[in-house]
Structure 1
């Protein structure tokens, strides 16, 4: 609307401020997911490790990530052959591993196997709390330790999802900065 008026009336110095404001407004409307650039070094951006007992929220996160154009591995569509082999391949081929933590996750031997392998593989782990009654103890408490986690139970889905996207972008930025050679002082 403003753009049409500017074009009809001709360009003035005050129009520069209008264009600048439109640009700023447009940038603010982009979600963190829309600014995420996929890694060329990995087949998947994200692998989701979850308990099937937490399927509803896990699938909601999965489909939202897909909608936002993330390349996601989850056992929904990519399971064939030996299960443990697929789990290992998914971790090895993903930049990030989301640990969807709950007491059901903590009591699952498959989830423990995935999480421990991702830790040993030095994958970038992002813990998400997906159940209110989750207690961070035992093997899982030790594995995630003091890592920042995103709690999907204490806020709206959209707010927690936005936090997740920001966390992904934060780790991606750190990874890019570490991979660039240091500039020598001249």
Structure 2
């Protein structure tokens, strides 16, 4: 099945509220039926809570270090480089919708990236917990205005710019994320 048809089918399955299938024996044996079943299974399994990490590729090395430390503590993380199946926009949308925490690793390049802006604004619309992480130690000040400043505004941030020891900041970030995940788990219990 060609990529564009698979992408269209995947988007339809991901975005539907009700999935109506007209079933026949011939259809059940077709490749289309098998593809839709696989996509529906993926959709069901993607509903686990995780931390989505939003970043600009210029900070990828530092962000991978953050991700690896979170994973060592058993925290499930989503990053674009780990999930290359199908449409990038669809993967990002699903990741934001299913995340408990949206980790915004911001910098000047992040503020100029349309993809980063799309992710961050979608996280705001979905009312996700947003935790900013500063990745740059120069004069860049997102609070001075613009779309990034309006999102970060009064939120506390974790400084991974190199100004402070990484180990100190990762401990603080882990504590914050674990508190949010714990709160989410308790809310689901009741």
Could you tell me which residue of structure 2 aligns to residue 124 of structure 1? 129
Could you tell me which residue of structure 2 aligns to residue 70 of structure 1? 75
TM-score of the pair, normalised by structure 1: 0.69
- Whose radius of gyration is greater, 1 or 2? 1
CA contact (8 A) 1:45 1:96 kept: yes
Matching of residues 1-186 of structure 1 within 5 Å:
42-133=47-138, 134-136=140-142, 137-153=145-161, 154-175=163-184
Q: Give the C-alpha shift of residue 180 in structure 1.
A: 6.8
Where do 5+ consecutive residues of structure 1 fail to align? 1-40, 182-186
The separation in 2 between residues aligned to 1:69 and 1:172, in whole angstroms, is 11
Match of 2:81, SS? Answer: coil
Q: RMSD of the TM alignment (CA)?
A: 1.9
Q: Give the C-alpha shift of residue 176 in structure 1.
A: 5.2
Q: Give the C-alpha shift of residue 174 in structure 1.
A: 4.2
CA contact (8 A) 1:150 1:164 kept: yes
Where do 5+ consecutive residues of structure 2 fail to align? 1-45
Q: Give the C-alpha shift of residue 66 in structure 1.
A: 1.8
1:49–1:149: structure 2 CA closer, same or farther, 3 Å change rule? same
Kindly provide the CA deviation profile for residues 50-78 of structure 1, in whole angstroms up to 9, marking residues without a partner as x.
00111111111112222222111101221
The separation in 1 between residues aligned to 2:169 and 2:187, in whole angstroms, is 27
Bigger mean CA deviation after superposition, 114-123 or 163-172: 163-172
Q: Give the C-alpha shift of residue 110 in structure 1.
A: 0.1
Bigger mean CA deviation after superposition, 110-119 or 75-84: 75-84
